[in-house]
Amino acid sequence: MRGASVTPGYWNRPDATEEAFSGDWLKSGDIGRRDATGRLSVEDRIKDMYISGGENVYPAEVESILMAHSDIREVAIIGVADQNGERWAALSLPQSAARPGVVGCACPL
């Protein structure tokens, strides 16, 4: 991004400013898509992506799949190191406090 409303850099952090900018362009770290109509949407952040079995995995995509489960109220995906790079682990809150435990989910990810 660039423009009059984009910060010129980080306060007293020239190292962070140098890493985040390319000339006057701010490298936001967002992953986005443009659909057939030209509409842009933000999918996730590069820093949140992890690699599993050679594939890029974006936590927001996995979270949206898990949030479709009727027993899940909230979920967060984290990357956990393993022999193939990383694998994901889900931290979730159930819809009902009376039904704690693991929610079964067959997710082909």
| Tally of structural domains, the chain | 2
How is the beta sheet containing 50-52 ordered, strand by strand?
A: 55-57, 50-52, 85-94, 72-82
* SS3 per-residue string spanning the chain: CCCCCCCCCCCCCHHHHHHHEECCEECCCEEEEECCCCCEEEEEEHHHCEEECCEEECHHHHHHHHHCCCCEEEEEEEEEEECCEEEEEEEEEECCCCCCCCCCCCCCC
pLDDT at 37: 96
pLDDT digit string, tens, across residues 72-100: 889 888 878 888 777 778 888 888 765 55
Tell me, yes or no, whether 35 and 73 share the same domain: no
pLDDT digit string, tens, across residues 23-76: 999 998 888 889 999 998 888 888 888 777 788 888 888 899 889 988 888 988
Separation between Cα atoms, residue 77 and residue 59, nearest integer Å? 5
Tell me, yes or no, whether 53 and 35 share the same domain: no
**Is residue 30 domain-resident?**
yes
**Is residue 24 domain-resident?**
yes
State the residue range of the domain holding 91.
Answer: 49-97
